Amino acid sequence: MAGAFGFKGCQKIRGPQIRSLLEAKDFFLFDCDGVIWHGEKAITGAAKVVNALIRQGKNVVFVTNNCTRPRENYVHKFCRLGFTDVMLEQIFSSSYCSALYLRDVVKVRGQVFVIGCDGLRRELLEAGIPCVEEADDPDATIYNCALAPDVKAVLVGHDDKLTFLKLAKASCYLRDPDCLFLATDNDPWHPLSGGRILPGSGSLTAALEVASGRKATVIGKPSRFMFECISSQFRGVDPAQCLMVGDRLEVDMLFGSNCGLDTMLTLTGVSQIEEAQEYRNSDLSTNHSLVPDYVVDTIADFLPAFEELEEQSN
């Protein structure tokens, strides 16, 4: 989709252009990590931007592929980092949306085998979806362990306690063609400080895809499902009035494109503007879906526009 200025592709905007965009849009979707915070540290000015948007009556939601914590924990984190007006209803995590998918879309009957952190399991249990309880038996192996008889879905997310046994059990469950294969997201890796990285859910899912010969259904970005969850919970969401703000081309910008939203890349996270320009100049037309409409250095670049708007209304 062409941006509000009739120009598609990596337009670095500031000052008056940001102001026009803020006036033109009434629904803002923000990725979290790399856009509004890095781990436990808020990006300078991000809280002011989010608080000002909410104060101005804009709709603000957060769409994150991070499935490690339940939504309540996000509310506490937002508050702790100075985002004082964020409510539970504004948070759409891949774990929450996975629970909605299992409960409302496929209406799963039976247990779910989860590869993931406690936060993911808690989100499912809150939605009334039973998960297979894993006994903590150090002697268990795939040769002698029990397998639950009624597993109707395998859900893969970020799991920092992944074991070979868990992978083996999931592979066994996936031999049943009636057992669904879902992934919270397909993120390949996540940045840590000091140049280190963590393998993401996508790398764990890839292992199971090879073992099972099946393809997982991805719930999180860039799949459209998270936008469907938002549309079902907020009345009258018009894609033309939305702006998706993220730091990852292959996840956030593609998600925006898939959902027909204008997109903005912030340069405080994973992707660089040069990569966006490469996609823009690529002969492969599918790469053009990864190109942001707009680019800012940081969402703190919104602040001068708010000051002007607020002066105007005084």
Residues from 287 through 306 that contact Mg ion (CB under 5 A):
none
Ligand-binding annotation for 247, yes or no, is yes
CB 252 within 8 A of CB 267: no
For position 31 contacting Mg ion by CB under 5 A, the verdict is yes
Question: At CB < 8 A and 24+ separation, what contacts does 10-17 make?
Answer: 10/265, 10/273, 10/276, 10/277, 10/280, 10/291, 10/292, 10/295, 11/293, 11/294, 11/295, 12/273, 12/294, 12/295, 12/296, 13/294, 13/295, 13/296, 14/296, 14/301, 15/304, 15/305, 16/305, 17/294
Ligand-binding annotation for 190, yes or no, is yes
Q: Is 283 a catalytic residue?
A: no
- Rounded to a whole number of angstroms, the minimum distance from the CB of residue 291 to Mg ion is 17
- Rounded to a whole number of angstroms, the minimum distance from the CB of residue 251 to Mg ion is 7
Residue with smaller CB distance to Mg ion, 34 or 116: 34
- Of 31, 159, 187, 293, catalytic: 31
Residue with smaller CB distance to Mg ion, 34 or 200: 34
**Residue 74, helix vs strand vs coil:** helix
**Candidate residues 3, 34, 202, 292; the one interacting with Mg ion per rule CB under 5 A:** 34
- Rounded to a whole number of angstroms, the minimum distance from the CB of residue 92 to Mg ion is 14
The residue nearest Mg ion at its CB is 34
Q: Which stretch binds Mg ion (CB under 5 A): 46-54, 146-154, 203-211, 243-251?
A: 243-251
For position 33 contacting Mg ion by CB under 5 A, the verdict is yes
For position 250 contacting Mg ion by CB under 5 A, the verdict is no
Give the separation between CA 16 and CA 13, rounded to whole angstroms.
8
Q: Is 31 a catalytic residue?
A: yes
For position 185 contacting Mg ion by CB under 5 A, the verdict is no
Q: Residue 101: which of 158, 172, 185 has the closest Cα?
A: 185
Residues 191, 193, 199, 201: is their CA dihedral positive or negative?
Answer: negative
Q: What angle do CA 211, 215, 219 make, to 5 degrees?
A: 125
Q: Which stretch binds Mg ion (CB under 5 A): 15-23, 81-89, 162-170, 246-254?
A: 246-254
CB 104 within 8 A of CB 133: no
Neighbouring CB atoms inside 10 A of 159's CB total: 19
Ligand-binding annotation for 252, yes or no, is no
CB 288 within 8 A of CB 4: no
- Number of residues binding to Mg ion, judged by CB under 5 A: 4
- Of 26, 33, 104, 238, catalytic: 33
Q: Residue 182: which of 173, 192, 191 has the closest Cα?
A: 173
- Rounded to a whole number of angstroms, the minimum distance from the CB of residue 248 to Mg ion is 5
Q: Which stretch binds Mg ion (CB under 5 A): 3-11, 24-32, 69-77, 225-233?
A: 24-32
- Contact code string over 193-232 relative to Mg ion, x by CB under 5 A: ----------------------------------------
Q: How far apart are the first and last CA of the chain?
A: 35
DSSP letter at 205 equals H
Extract the tokens encoding 128: 């009334």
- Rounded to a whole number of angstroms, the minimum distance from the CB of residue 17 to Mg ion is 23
The annotated binding site for substrate is made up of: 190, 221
Q: Rule CB under 5 A: which residues touch Mg ion?
A: 31, 33-34, 247
